[in-house]
Structure 1
Amino acid sequence: MPANSPAIEDYLKTVYAHTEWQPEPITPSGLAGALGVAPSSVTEMVKKMAAQGLVQHVPYGAIRLTDAGRARALAVVRRHRLIETWLVREMGYAWDEVHDEAEILEHALSDRLLEAIDARLGRPERDPHGDAIPAADGSLVSEPSVRLDEAPVGHVGRVIRISDRDPAVLRALDDAGVGPGCELRVTDAAGEASVTVDVAGSTRILAHEAATGIWVSA
């Protein structure tokens, strides 16, 4: 199976995404859950990727990308996030509608078309959710951040990125005026229940589930 097969690309992207915002590597069971496949399927695929020098893995241990695997994963992430940005800016999609479309298109677009999209968009550095778009050479723009549910009361920060895992949460945050680039101040944290923030002079109570998917500047 070639390294640029859609299946391998999906695996590499998922392994990369797991550690993009936290340090713990993904386990085979975690990878199976993230991809919605059987553990036996993960075992076979990881063996194939290890044989191609894309991941490092010991039986029952964590899965880590090699330099080659990381480069391949970043290329797929670049495609995905550029497509999401293009769909929002040029095609009239909302930010909660683009993930599934990008999952399909990221395997279909030629490098030439991707470069044309990147140029037309003005070489964007972040997608509609605030995630950094890797440059063609694999480099990324990053800055120190803290997850909103872990930020102390009184913390003031700019929203850097919001997880796109749940479209319903994205719609709720849109209604609350919370999105990448906005500044907020944490005014109360009710444990596992909610986080209260001030956004542009308005008080917003965000469910804990939403707060765990928001990263603000540290």
Structure 2
Amino acid sequence: MAARPNPAGNDSSSVQDYVKTIYALTEWHDEPVTSSRLAARLSVANSSVSEMIRKLSELGLVNHKPYRPVELTADGRRLALAMVRRHRLIETFLVQDLGYRWDEVHDEAELLEHTVSDMFIDRLDARLGFPPADPHGDPIPTAAGSITLPDALPLYRFDDGHSGRVARISDENPQLLRFLASEEVGIGAAMTVLGRAPFGGSLEARVGRGAGARNLSFGDELTRAIWLESVGEHAGCSLVP
């Protein structure tokens, strides 16, 4: 069995952030990771990204050739998942035990994930009851480095009449999270696609069940941030391309 990576020990926080970001850019989207995408995600200059990619390559954490996408090696993926595990468990703890809102936890977790030990993370996992996902529905890797993504797709991919449950909501935009919280749209919420306004207009969906259900309109950013998992008769139905 391969040695477990030691995020709090041998690797700098910038190395940890880069491999975690490379993983995050490919976790839910099958798009190549380029230097410009990394620079935009990390809010740094392209020259800084190029230098770090060279370092990551020397460390054996990424494979990269000029003008080609960046890909994690097996070692890079192990380190990335170790950092993802830390981040998502800390977010879960902040919400579940310390009363943070789901839009407040990202920056706190970014700071804490670099400082705690593997023992702390493992005990935190046990303390929380080994949660399968964080407050935003993102799956939490195991201590062994395995991860299972839910069978979910973004809201805009579903046909009219399709029903599902909210399995994940992207946490990239805190304002979006606050809006959804105000509308009581969270993980596990039932949702049925009702239709789309013409000419690229908003998508209307019914949220909830029974007497408490209501219709909401979702713009483009929301339909890409909300991920549904099909349920019942709609599992496996056709999707919008």
One-letter amino acid of the structure 1 residue matched with residue 220 of structure 2: H
- Residue 3 of structure 1 deviates from its aligned partner by 5.9
What is the number of residues matched between the two proteins? 217
The counterpart of 2:206, out of the listed 183, 191, 198, is: 198
Report the TM-score, using the length of structure 1 for normalisation. Answer: 0.96
SS in 2 for 1:197: strand
The counterpart of 1:45, out of the listed 49, 52, 75, is: 52
One-letter amino acid of the structure 1 residue matched with residue 225 of structure 2: G
SS in 1 for 2:97: helix
- Residue 194 of structure 1 deviates from its aligned partner by 1.9
- Residue 142 of structure 1 deviates from its aligned partner by 2.2
Q: Which consecutive residues of structure 2, in runs of 5 or more, have no partner in the other structure?
A: 1-8, 231-241
1:214 paired residue number:
226
Matched residues in 1 for 2:160 and 2:207: separation? 14
1:154 paired residue number:
161
Over 4 Å off, 4+ runs: none
Matched residues in 2 for 1:157 and 1:138: separation? 29
2:106 paired residue number:
99
Give yes or no for contact 1:155–1:186 (8 Å, CA) kept in 2. yes
Matches within 5 A, 1:34-73: 34-73=41-80
**Larger mean Cα displacement after TM superposition, 148-157 or 184-193:** 184-193
Matched residues in 2 for 1:39 and 1:189: separation? 39
Structure 1 pair 36–3 and aligned structure 2 pair: CA distance change class (3 A): farther
SS in 2 for 1:124: coil
Give yes or no for contact 1:3–1:9 (8 Å, CA) kept in 2. no
Report the TM-score, using the length of structure 2 for normalisation. Answer: 0.87
One-letter amino acid of the structure 1 residue matched with residue 181 of structure 2: D
RMSD: 1.3
The counterpart of 2:36, out of the listed 10, 29, 35, is: 29
1:38-60: per-residue Cα shift (whole Å, max 9, x none)? 11111110011011111011112
- Residue 110 of structure 1 deviates from its aligned partner by 1.4
Q: Which consecutive residues of structure 1, in runs of 5 or more, have no partner in the other structure?
A: none
- Residue 174 of structure 1 deviates from its aligned partner by 1.1
Matched residues in 2 for 1:107 and 1:56: separation? 24
- Residue 198 of structure 1 deviates from its aligned partner by 0.5
1:124 paired residue number:
131
Give yes or no for contact 1:12–1:72 (8 Å, CA) kept in 2. yes
